[in-house]
Chains A and B, each alone.
Chain A
Amino acid sequence: MQSDMPLLLRIESVGKTYQLGVQKVAALRHVNLNIEEGAFIAIAGPSGSGKSTLLNIIGLIDTPSTGRLLIDDCEVSGRSPDELAALRARTIGFVFQTFNLLPVLTAEENVEYPLLQFRELSRRERRERVAYYLDMVRLSHHARHRPNQLSGGQRQRVAIARALATHPRVVLADEPTANLDHRTGSRILRLMRQINRNHGTTFIFSTHDPRVLEIADRRVDLEDGMIARLGVRSGDEWTYAVDRAWSGEAPSTAAGRSRMDHESTFSKLSSMLGMPSEKK
C-alpha cells in the first residue's frame, strides 16, 4: 500500500564522492529515498554522516557522483547550470542555519528578491505576496528593517518567508535552529510545522536538534553516508526500517514500538525507500 500523497522526490542509488588530495572520500553511498508531497522529514545523523550533502543534492546545489534524482518524475541530472537555477527558483526554498539574508536589503526586499526572477508577477503581485508571507511569519511591522536590525529569530522568520514566497514544492532547512536560542528555535519549528500542515508545503530538515525530530513525521538517519534507518512517526513513537543498502537485507520494521498497523507502516517505509510495498 502506497501513501495517498503524490511522490515529489525520488532519490535512486545516489552517491557522492569528494576528492581530498589524493584520497577519495565517499560522503554518500547508494542512498535510495522517496519523498511525498506534504512530508515533514528530518534527516538526522552525526557530523560527517552526509546530511548536508544529501540536502544539497536534493536542493540542486550539488550534483551526485552516481545515481539520480527525480523531481516529479523528471530526472535532473545532466541539466545545465541555468536549467538547474530555473528549477531551483520555482521548486525549492532554502532556510539556512546562518539565515543568509542579503545584508543590504530590508526584510521585505529579502523576501521579494527571489520573486524578481518571476517575470509573470507584476510589482503589485510581488508586493502583495511579500506582505502575505511577512504577515504569516508575523514580521509585517519589521518589513523595513535590515537584517542587522533584527534578532536571530526574526531573521530566520524572514528567511522562512523568503523560502515560501516563491511557492516552492519543497523547503530545505539546513540546521535551521542551530543559531537560535532554545525558545526561539522552538517557535521557528512550530511555525514551520504549522505552515506544513496548513499549506501542505513539504519540509526537509537536516538537523541535530531533537526538537525537530519531535515534530517530524518521518526521519532519515544517516551514518557514514548511508541510510542507517528510516522512521515513520506513529503518535509519539517511531517505527523504523533498516535500509537494504546499509544492511544488505530487505527492509523490515524494527526497533520502534509501533502502535500503527504493521502493514501500513511497512508500506510507508517501503515507499520512502522507493521499493514495492507488497512484501510484508
Chain B
Amino acid sequence: MLLSIALRNLLRQRTRSLLTLASIALGVASIMLANGFIDDVLWQLREATIRSQLGHLQVFAPGFLDEGRREPLSHTVADAQGAVARLQTIPGVATVARRLGFSGLLSNGRSDLAVIVEGIEPAAEAQIGTALTIASGKDLVTKDRNAITVGEGVAAALRLRVGDPVTLLASTKDGALNTLDARLSGVFRSPFKDYDARAIRISLADAQEVAGVDSVNTLVVLLQPDRSVDDALGAARDLLPSARYDVRPWTDLADFYQGVEALYRRQFLVLVMIVSVMVMLGVANSITMSLHERQGEFGTVRALGYRPDDVFAQIVTESVVLGSIAAAVGIALGVLLASGISAIGIEMPPPPNSDIGYTAKIRLSLSNVLIAAATAFIASVAGSIVPARRLARMPIVDALRHAI
C-alpha cells in the first residue's frame, strides 16, 4: 500500500511531479550523453592506440621497459618463435607479430634525422596497424627487402618522396656501425604526430641484419574484437614465465591515453556532481513545498499511530517512486537523443598530438546507463531525506494545525 499511496500522491500533484520528474530525467539524459561522448572519444583513442602501435598485449624480456631504451638489442625476447607459438594458442588471439626496435640515423644524402627503427613482419602488422594509413606510396609487404616506410613527419623533415634512396645508420649489438641502403616505399600516417615524426619501418629481416642480431625485442599480440584484455593477459602470463618474459597490457604502455582518460573522467565526475546537486536541490525544493502543504496529512498519520520512521519511509518512498520513473524516462530520453546525435555525428577537430580529425558519436553502454540512472535516483532520494526527517520529527500538534 505504501507504493500505491506514494504513486497516488505523486499523481495528485501532477504539475509539480511532472516538473520534478522532467528535471531528474534531463539530468539522467545529460549524464548519459556526456558519458557516452567521453566513452566514444576514449574508445576511438584506445582503438587508435592499439591499432597503430601497441596491439592489446606486448611481451618483452624482463628489464626491457626500464633499460631497453638505452640498450634495446641487449634485451631480446628469449625463444621468440616458441613464445609466439604459445601465445597463438590463447583463445581470442588474432595475430602475434614480432618486432625489433632500436634507434638510428636516417639520411637522405644531404641531411640526417634521428629516428626510431621498427623491424616488422608486414603481414602481421597489416592486421595490427589498421589505424596506420599510407599517405603516399605503398606499405611494406612480406617479400620486401631494402624497402622502408616512414612517418609523415620524417618524410617532411628529410623532404623525402616515394622512391627516394635513403641510408639508415645504426649500431649493431656489438657496438659497430652498420648501414642499410633502402628505397622509400611509402609514407604512413598514424593518429599520433610524435610517432610520425620519428618512426620508420623496415622488414624484420633487414632490421636484424642492420642490428646484427637474429632475435626480436617485442612481441605484439592483437586480440579478436570484443575479447577481454585481462583474460588474455592472464593466459599469456600463465604461458610465459615471468622470469623470462614480461607481459604487459597496452594500457601500461599508453601514457598519453592514460592521461587523456584521467582528464576526461575527472571532468565527467565534476559534471556528475553538478547534475547531482541540481537534481538534489530541485527534488528538495519540490518535496519541501509539497510537504509544507501536507503537514496536516502527516500529522494525522502520526495521530493514527504511525511512527516517525513510518512517515519518513512514506516520504522517501514517494521520492523513490519519482526517482525510478524519472530515471526510466531519462534513460529513454537519453537513448533517443544519443541515437539521433550518433546518426548525425559530431565532427571533432584533430586532438592534441594528431593531425586527424574524427567523427564522434554517443557511445551508450549498460554501465553508462546505470551510472546515469543511479546518480539521478540517488540524488533524488537524497534530496528528500532532510525534509522528510524534519517533517517526521515535527510535533504532531503543530502538524495538525495545518488543514489537509
Residues of chain A touching chain B, judged by Cβ–Cβ distance below 8 Å, are: 56, 59, 61-62, 81-82, 85-86, 88-90, 92, 94, 96, 98-105, 109, 113-114, 116-117, 162, 166
Contact = CB atoms under 8 A, between A and B. Distances in A.
B404 interface: yes
Given A98-B403, A102-B404, A105-B5, A85 B300 contact: no
A113 B311 CA distance: 13
A89 B305 contact: yes
A90 B396 CA distance: 17
Given A81-B308, A82-B307, A116-B1, A102 B301 contact: yes
Given A59-B303, A102-B5, A102-B404, 16 more contacts: A81-B308, A85-B302, A85-B306, A85-B310, A86-B305, A86-B307, A88-B305, A89-B305, A94-B300, A99-B404, A100-B300, A102-B300, A104-B5, A104-B9, A114-B304, A166-B305
Given A85-B305, A89-B305, A103 B397 contact: no
Nearest to A56: B397
B276 to A, nearest CB: 30
Contact of B307 (A85, A101, A166): A85
A117 B404 contact: no
26 contacts: A56-B396, A62-B397, A85-B307, A88-B305, A90-B305, A92-B305, A94-B303, A96-B400, A98-B403, A98-B404, A100-B296, A100-B297, A100-B400, A102-B5, A102-B300, A102-B301, A102-B404, A103-B12, A103-B404, A104-B9, A104-B11, A105-B8, A109-B1, A113-B304, A116-B1, A117-B305
B339 to A, nearest CB: 38
Nearest to A117: B305
Contacts of A103: 12, 297, 404
Pick from B9, B308, B397, B403 the residue with the most CB of A within 10 Å.
B397
Pick from B296, B310, B400 the residue with the most CB of A within 10 Å.
B400
A200 to B, nearest CB: 21
Contacts of A56: 396-397
A61 B308 contact: no
Contact of B303 (A81, A88, A98, A104): A88
A104 B296 contact: no
Contacts of A98: 296, 403-404
Given A96-B400, A100-B404, A103-B404, A114 B305 contact: yes
A102 B307 CA distance: 17
B1 to A, nearest CB: 6
When A and B form their complex, which 6 residue pairs have the shortest distance between CB atoms, in order from nearest?
A: A89-B305, A104-B8, A61-B396, A100-B300, A114-B304, A85-B307
Interface residues of B, number: 25
B194 to A, nearest CB: 66
B404 A61 contact: no
B91 interface: no
Nearest to A85: B307
Given A86-B305, A103-B404, A96 B12 contact: no
A193 B308 CA distance: 33
A96 B404 CA distance: 11
A169 to B, nearest CB: 13
Pick from A56, A61, A117, A166 the residue with the most CB of B within 10 Å.
A61
Nearest to A174: B400
B63 interface: no
Contacts of A104: 5, 8-9, 11-12
Contacts of B297: 100, 102-103
Interface string B116-129: 00000000000000
A98 B297 CA distance: 11
A239 B8 CA distance: 52
Contacts of B163: none
A61 B300 CA distance: 10
A197 to B, nearest CB: 25
B349 interface: no
A114 B305 CA distance: 7
A61 B397 contact: yes
Contacts of B308: 81-82, 85
Contacts of B296: 98, 100
Interface string B248-278: 0000000000000000000000000000000
B303 A62 contact: no
A162 B304 CA distance: 9
